[in-house]
Amino acid sequence: MVPLYKFYKMRFDIITVLPELLESPLNHSIMQRARDKGLLDVHLHQLRDYATGKHRQVDDYQFGGGAGMVMKPEPIAACLDKLLAERQYDEIIYTTPDGVKLDQSVCNQLSLKNNLIVLCGHYKGVDDRIRQKYVTMEISIGDYVLSGGELAAAVLVDSVGRLIPGVLNDETSALFDSFQDNLLAPPVYTRPAVWNGMPVPDILLSGHEKNIEDWRHDQAVERTKARRPDLF
């Protein structure tokens, strides 16, 4: 049988000083299922293992003075060189508040890649020469500052990983997500049909598929106009 789409298996290699921060989010729910199905492969690399010297130091004072440490280039380069010698990577992503803001369109594009490296920024960030020599893409998850890039990397793997064909089933299909068509999702209801005196909209109980679909679309449009006119 000819497959209808290319068989995607995505591999993420995440370089971090805090792999513990990434373990739990990647080992539950849909991410766990994606890994169990063999569609998503995530490898965590402890940056400190690539540092040398008695203290395996990964950061140092910044030239020119000023508060805050900078991530040293050598351990990062050692880890990247090892990975790059093993396979080809589509992108080397650096998570940083001054990167391009992650949105659904960036996620969609990244979900078509096979091998991605994510370098998690920390402290004041990495020595700029690492960005110049290796990094191909810089991503921020929003206009606020996190204490490290790990939570941003977890957001990236989740938002991209769930788009790999086969990760979601029909019911959880990404096609119906907010943002996928630049519309927010419509309101949803479950049992009981009346709760606290509040009934579920009649149309959802009508069994009339076409009317329900139209209603949901109208609701999505109204919500988007009211809450996120910028998406419109």
In the complex, the residues that contact ligand 6GU under the rule CB under 6 A are 95-97, 121, 139-142, 144-146, 148-149, 152
- Contacts of 109 by beta carbon, 8 Å cutoff, 6+ apart: none
Burial of 160 per CB tally in 10 Å (0-12, 13-18, 19+): buried
Q: How many Cβ atoms are within 10 Å of 198's Cβ, its own excluded?
A: 8
Closer to ligand 6GU by Cβ: residue 18 or 168: 18
Q: Least Å distance between CB 102 and ligand 6GU?
A: 8
Q: Least Å distance between CB 87 and ligand 6GU?
A: 24
Pairing of strands 137-140, 194-195: unpaired
Closer to ligand 6GU by Cβ: residue 121 or 161: 121
Closer to ligand 6GU by Cβ: residue 147 or 211: 147
Q: Are 50 and 79 in contact (CB under 8 A)?
A: yes
Closer to ligand 6GU by Cβ: residue 145 or 226: 145
Closer to ligand 6GU by Cβ: residue 16 or 224: 16
Amino acid type, 65: G
Furthest-apart CA pair in the chain: how many Å? Answer: 71
What are the tokens at 153?
Answer: 């990397």
Q: Least Å distance between CB 79 and ligand 6GU?
A: 18
Distance CA 125, CA 185 (A): 36
Q: Least Å distance between CB 193 and ligand 6GU?
A: 42
Q: Least Å distance between CB 125 and ligand 6GU?
A: 8
The C-alpha angle 85, 157, 75, rounded to 5 degrees, equals 40
